[in-house]
Structure 1
Amino acid sequence: MTSPTHQPLPPKAFPVSWDQFHRDARALAWRLHEAGPFRAMVCITRGGLVAAAIVARELEIRLVETVCISSYEHQQQGDFDVLKRVAKDVVGTDEGQGVLIVDDLVDTGKTAKLVREMLPKAHFATVYAKPMGRPLVDTFITEVSQDTWIFFPWDTGLAFQPPISGAG
């Protein structure tokens, strides 16, 4: 996206506070309650860790596994590296039937596609979804535009925020 002077425009910023994230993750748990019960949860690290803790508590899921995928360098999505796969006893012989996958965000859908291949019959849930990745998840709470950058509370500190208009 560029401006009329052909300068790159900054992405839209969507800062999320701890309180808002907690409310949104609990809202996700409410929606998932109807889709369960789930025998296990797979959390996509690192972003999905906080959401998974909240959802696991609300739905009383005790078996929580991780899949560790590295794809971001600051705000740029790069190559994917699977650092840790899902344990075979969690995948089971039924391709993840009865398993809940949780992440904070589905963006381009590349990570979601990779995890879906590991657990094709699992229920995939994210707190936030962007249009490119949204078709790959079964349940989400808030959709944001593709050009929006979500600033999660664990990645930010308190600082002055300039007005959206740029004046001031």
Structure 2
Amino acid sequence: MSDAPRPDKVFPVSWDQFHRDTRALTWRLHEAGPFEAIVCITRGGLVPAAIVARELNVRIIETVCIASYHDYKNQGDIKVMKGVGPEITSMRGQGKGVLIVDDLVDTGKTARVVREILPAAHFATVYAKPMGRPLVDTFITEVSQDTWIYFPWDTGLSYVPPIRAGGD
């Protein structure tokens, strides 16, 4: 596991912003489709996959369950806890017509594993960091590698100190 501290830069995302960003992603995906099925990477891909599935009218939704952040702070070894079913992997040969959805591509470790499972699929994320960006076909917002994104399902309402605290 990495012992690197959590980055100082934070990017909090509200439910409203995430929904808008995911719908913007869907507009781009509409042009890239049509898609016969969606494979969402759990857990982060569940929410955007639901929005994309609704907007693109895709009814076949599968999950690939992968753990890489084991304690919400450090990215560790990739563990595939549930693979993709054969009815999806065999679609038109190695996933053609399949859309992979995740919330974020960070270092690209997870994306590489899923790309090996479905090399012909279209890969989309709402947010992308530079190290992982080359592995996705479509994304909406790029953030710097040293930024930690706080997704709405990971946060609650509380006071946040100013970026520049101290009054000087």
d(CA) in 2 for partners of 1:166, 1:83: 42
Which residue of 72, 79, 82 corresponds with 1:81?
Answer: 79
Please give the TM-score of this superposition, normalised by the length of structure 2. 0.93
User: Once the 2 structures are TM-superposed, how far is the Cα of residue 166 of structure 1 from its aligned partner?
Assistant: 2.4
- Cα RMSD (Å): 1.2
d(CA) in 2 for partners of 1:106, 1:165: 29
**Distance change >3 Å, CA 34–CA 103, structure 1 → 2:** same
Q: Which runs of 4+ in 1 moved over 6 A?
A: none
Which residue of 47, 52, 56 corresponds with 2:53?
Answer: 56
**Distance change >3 Å, CA 9–CA 117, structure 1 → 2:** closer
Amino acid at match of 1:145: S
User: Once the 2 structures are TM-superposed, how far is the Cα of residue 79 of structure 1 from its aligned partner?
Assistant: 1.1
Amino acid at match of 2:101: V
8 Å Cα contact 2:7-2:147 kept in structure 1: no
SS at match of 1:166: coil
User: Once the 2 structures are TM-superposed, how far is the Cα of residue 80 of structure 1 from its aligned partner?
Assistant: 1.0
Deviation per residue, 1:62-104 (Å, 9 max, x gap)? 0000000011021210111100000011111600000000000
Q: List runs of 5+ in structure 2 lacking aligned partners.
A: none
- Length, aligned pairs only: 161
Amino acid at match of 1:102: V
SS at match of 2:27: helix
**Distance change >3 Å, CA 89–CA 20, structure 1 → 2:** same
**Distance change >3 Å, CA 114–CA 10, structure 1 → 2:** closer
User: Once the 2 structures are TM-superposed, how far is the Cα of residue 36 of structure 1 from its aligned partner?
Assistant: 0.3
Q: List runs of 5+ in structure 1 lacking aligned partners.
A: 1-7
